[in-house]
Chains A and B, each alone.
Chain A
C-alpha cells in the first residue's frame, strides 16, 4: 500500500498536498485499488467553491459510482483535464498524474482535521482486519 509521507489524508480516502496557497487533491492508492478499473471521473469546475466533507467529484469504476469528498474548503483553481480521456491514470498513479484538482484553501487550520500518513496507514490497516 503506497501512502506517501508528505500528504495528508481523510477517512474517506482522499489525499491533499498543501504547498503554500495551493493545495492538490486526489484519492488514495487504497481507494483506487478497492474501486478497481476507473472508467469516468466527474470533476468540479474551475471557480467553484467546495466545502470540507462536501461532495466534490464522482468516480465511476466498472462496478460502481462513488462520491469524492473535499478534504478542505476552498475554490477550485485547476482540474486535471487529462482524466477526461484517461481516467485510468488514477489507477496507475493515484498521487502523481492521477491528481484530481487544485484548490485555494479558505482556511488552512482545517489541516488539523486531516490524518498524517502514519495515522492513515494505521486507519487503513484497521479496515482490512
Chain B
C-alpha cells in the first residue's frame, strides 16, 4: 500500500501525520498536550495541528450519537463586533436578517462576495442590542477579518479574539445532562440556536445550544488560559469521550451539513449549495444581485446527496455519472458509521430525481449509488 500516511479525501487530502509536517506554519491548539497524552493521531487542519482520532473514528462517531462527545474546536475564529445596525454596514455583510434576531439567539448564514460566492459560512450571536459575536472557520479567519474591516463604518468596533478565546463542543443525547451537572439547571432551558452566560470555573462564559453533529449539543467559549481545565473537567464524566475531527466529519456528513473549503467556497453560491433558507431576500446584502441573476437565469449546478448501495465510499473529486453521462463531481464522501454504507454529496449540472441511480467513480473504482435526501441520519437529538 502506498501513500498510507496521507488522508486522501477532501480537506483531508492535505493532511499528513504530525512527524511529516512543516511546523513553522502550523499553530498548535492550546490542548495539544492533552491530545498527546490521550494518544490522538494529530494532523494539520485549516493551519492548525488538530486531533483526528483518539480510539477510532467509527467508535467515536457512534459514542457521540449515543452518549456525548467532546471536541476541541479551538482552531475556529471568533470576532466581537459592536455595531448599531442602523448606523453600520453589518447587515450588508451577511445573508441573514440581523435586526430580527433576539438577544441571546444565534443564526447561521453566509458572507458573500459580489459574485454571490461564499467567503465564509458563519454563526452570528446577538449578545446585546449592539454587540455581536461571529464564529468563523479556521482557514478563513484572516480573509474574513479584512473583508469585514473593509466594509464596517467608523463608529463600529471590531476585535478578533480568535487567539485568546478557546472553544469546546459537547455533542450527543447525554450532553444536556452532563452540562447541567457542571453549569446548572438553566442549561436545560436553552432552546435550539439560543445561548446564555453560565458560571464555569470562575468565569462567565457563553454556551450556545448549537453544533455540527445533528445531536443535542452545546458550544462553549472559554478563555484559552482555562480551556485545559474545562476540557479535563468535562472528561471526568463517564458519559463523555474525546472525539476527533475525523468523526466530526462523518457526523456532519450524515446530516448533510456543508464543510467550508470542501462543499462550499468562494466559487459556489448558497443557491447552488441548496442553502437558500439561510438567505433573506427581504434585505440588502453583498452578493444579492448576483444571486438574483442566478435565480433568473437558472442554476448551472446544484448540490445532490447520495447513498451507495454498498459499504463502498465515494470520495472527494470522484466523478458523478447519470445514465452514462458525466454530470458532476463529489465534494464530500465517506463511510457512514450509523448507516453502514457509503454516503456523499456533490454538484451536478441539471436535475436528478430522488432514488435515481448514479455511478460514482475515479479511474479504478466505480460505486453504484442512489440519489437521496438529507439528512442521511434521521434520528438526531439536536432539536428535542
Which chain A residues have a beta carbon within 8 Å of chain B's beta carbons? 12-14, 27, 31, 34-37, 39-40, 42, 55, 58-69, 87, 91, 127-129
Quick check: is B208 within 8 A (CB to CB) of the other chain? no
A40 touches B335 (CB 8 A): yes
| Stretch of B103-111, B117-125, B306-314 contacting A (4+ beta carbons < 8 Å) | B306-314
4 new A-B contacts, CB < 8 A, other than A36-B56, A37-B57, are A37-B335, A40-B313, A91-B56, A129-B19
- Which chain A residues border B57 with CB–CB below 8 Å? 36-37, 62-63
A63 touches B7 (CB 8 A): yes
Task: Supply 27 A–B pairs (Cβ within 8 Å), ascending by A.
Answer: A12-B1, A12-B2, A13-B1, A13-B4, A31-B4, A35-B4, A40-B313, A40-B335, A42-B312, A42-B365, A58-B365, A59-B1, A60-B313, A62-B58, A62-B334, A64-B6, A64-B7, A64-B9, A64-B315, A65-B313, A65-B315, A66-B2, A67-B364, A68-B1, A87-B311, A91-B56, A127-B5
B8 touches A40 (CB 8 A): no
A36 touches B312 (CB 8 A): no
- Which chain B residues border A62 with CB–CB below 8 Å? 57-58, 246, 250, 313, 334-335, 337
A40 to chain B, nearest CB (A): 4
- A127 nearest CB neighbor, chain B only: B5
Quick check: is B197 within 8 A (CB to CB) of the other chain? no
Interface residue tally for chain B (C-beta within 8 Å): 30
B336 to chain A, nearest CB (A): 9
A19 to chain B, nearest CB (A): 23
* Separation of A19 and B53 alpha carbons in the complex (Å): 38
Q: What 9 pairs between A and B have smallest CB-CB spacing?
A: A39-B335, A64-B8, A40-B311, A37-B58, A34-B4, A62-B57, A63-B7, A66-B1, A62-B335
A67 touches B334 (CB 8 A): no
- A84 nearest CB neighbor, chain B only: B311
- Which chain B residues border A39 with CB–CB below 8 Å? 58, 311, 313, 335
- B249 nearest CB neighbor, chain A only: A63
Quick check: is B282 within 8 A (CB to CB) of the other chain? no
A31 touches B1 (CB 8 A): yes
Quick check: is B12 within 8 A (CB to CB) of the other chain? yes
- Which chain A residues border B56 with CB–CB below 8 Å? 36-37, 91
- B250 nearest CB neighbor, chain A only: A62
- Which chain A residues border B250 with CB–CB below 8 Å? 62
* Separation of A20 and B278 alpha carbons in the complex (Å): 66
A67 touches B12 (CB 8 A): no
Quick check: is B155 within 8 A (CB to CB) of the other chain? no
A36 touches B246 (CB 8 A): yes
Contact of A34 among B5, B9, B59, B365 (CB under 8 A): B5
* Separation of A14 and B1 alpha carbons in the complex (Å): 7
- Which chain A residues border B310 with CB–CB below 8 Å? 40
A36 touches B9 (CB 8 A): no
- B58 nearest CB neighbor, chain A only: A37
* Separation of A68 and B1 alpha carbons in the complex (Å): 5
